[in-house]
Amino acid sequence: DAGVIQSPRHEVTEMGQEVTLRCKPISGHNSLFWYRQTMMRGLELLIYFNNNVPIDDSGMPEDRFSAKMPNASFSTLKIQPSEPRDSAVYFCASSWGAGELFFGEGSRLTVL
């Protein structure tokens, strides 16, 4: 298996622009997680899905953030409008239930 695939790997954008991050989980996994990592706050869970259904979005910072999982093989995290404080590495991860979490390589976002 190719593992969790994220795109883009790097994104540089200007404040106010829309950003869309994409994730393909490992085939057969039924849970998908979006994390954000910064030096100050570490690895924070933004939202997770189970069987394509959002279960807990309490970590989503504000209404500017939204996430979707239209099918078992694809998820997006959208930020609109983006702000400089959104600059971070965004990780997608997947698992089978409460098993081992496999991370993608991350999307490094810089908002100028």
Partner 1 sequence: QKEVEQNSGPLSVPEGAIASLNCTYSDRGSQSFFWYRQYSGKSPELIMSIYSNGDKEDGRFTAQLNKASQYVSLLIRDSQPSDSATYLCAANFGNEKLTFGTGTRLTIIP
Burial category of 104 from C-beta neighbours within 10 Å (exposed 0-12, middle 13-18, buried 19 and up): buried
Instruction: Give the nearest distance from C-beta 16 to partner 1 in angstroms.
Output: 28
Q: Print the binding letters for residues 5-44 with partner 1: x by CB under 8 A, - otherwise.
A: --------------------------x-x-x-----xxxx
Instruction: Give the nearest distance from C-beta 59 to partner 1 in angstroms.
Output: 9
Beta strand segments in the chain, E:
5-7, 10-13, 19-24, 31-38, 42-50, 53-56, 65-71, 74-79, 88-95, 102-103, 107-111
Instruction: Give the nearest distance from C-beta 94 to partner 1 in angstroms.
Output: 11
Binding residues for partner 1, rule: CB under 8 A, are 31, 33, 35, 41-45, 48, 50, 55-56, 91, 95, 97-98, 100-101, 103-106
